[in-house]
A and B are shown apart, each in its own frame.
Chain A
């Protein structure tokens, strides 16, 4: 292949590669949903039925000793507002958004979870020591974004209340 021909080929290859790259923000939601194999949820009717009804939010104890935390992100709050988890135990986080794209982060750790409407974002977390973490939103989500911040309380394992299967814990219950 001669150089001018090769140059033309490379140019077109570059252009064709860049087009999908510039459109990533339009395909990331379905792509993530496909990669994680999660079923879509209706962000408008989270409160009516399914996993994210009011009395299913918060910390749930699993039979294997780990805990599952279910949360909703909505402009401009994470609900429940204060999360209680035991230290040194795997925390399985399941969170979805009721409106815009949010990002749940934990100050003082590297954890960050992108929260998308219509998708359940999952994350495996673990907090070795008791303490308190602020959980600010790190994806601009609207006029009240800068005050969107909730709290995570990590307590010693023996201080964590024993929850029955249908009970959900948060800081308010303490």
Chain B
């Protein structure tokens, strides 16, 4: 850990190795035991990264803390990708979908905060997009609209608009978000291109039977 604080480049080298090893296991043909083992390895490594990030924050090294965020969440995206593959093998399709969406969203936040554009980043996001088209049927989503009456900045907890933090940017290794505490719902629409792909149509009714859209099995 100390070595990383003194030389963050070592951390990038270690990340590249971790990502390489994990991605070698992110194929549907790889055995489920090996994939589960890799998930545990990544989760343990991420715990250590959280400690490292805290150490950078204490030393007021914001750029380094932000770098750790990107590394941590790149690995988390691969971890979710592996969990998606495991869930498919275990016939847990709803969980598989949720893991894919988590991977896409988390990796999106890494790309949007990356100091430089990289072909590898774009290719990985494309890979996550392709899973959606190849492994899952075409889904329909919900989108909500409404009026936010009260919300706060996740970084400083001040009322929205009262601080200089920008939603979606990193501050000391933390992603700034808007925490909505009061909202008046105005509409729920069916959309093809939602902001939140977790918010989807789960089942349809056919001949009086409720059918799960992912498995086509009858559901309760």
Do A and B pair up? The answer is no
Interface residues of A (CB under 8 A from B): none
> Which B residues have a C-beta under 8 Å from some C-beta of A?
none
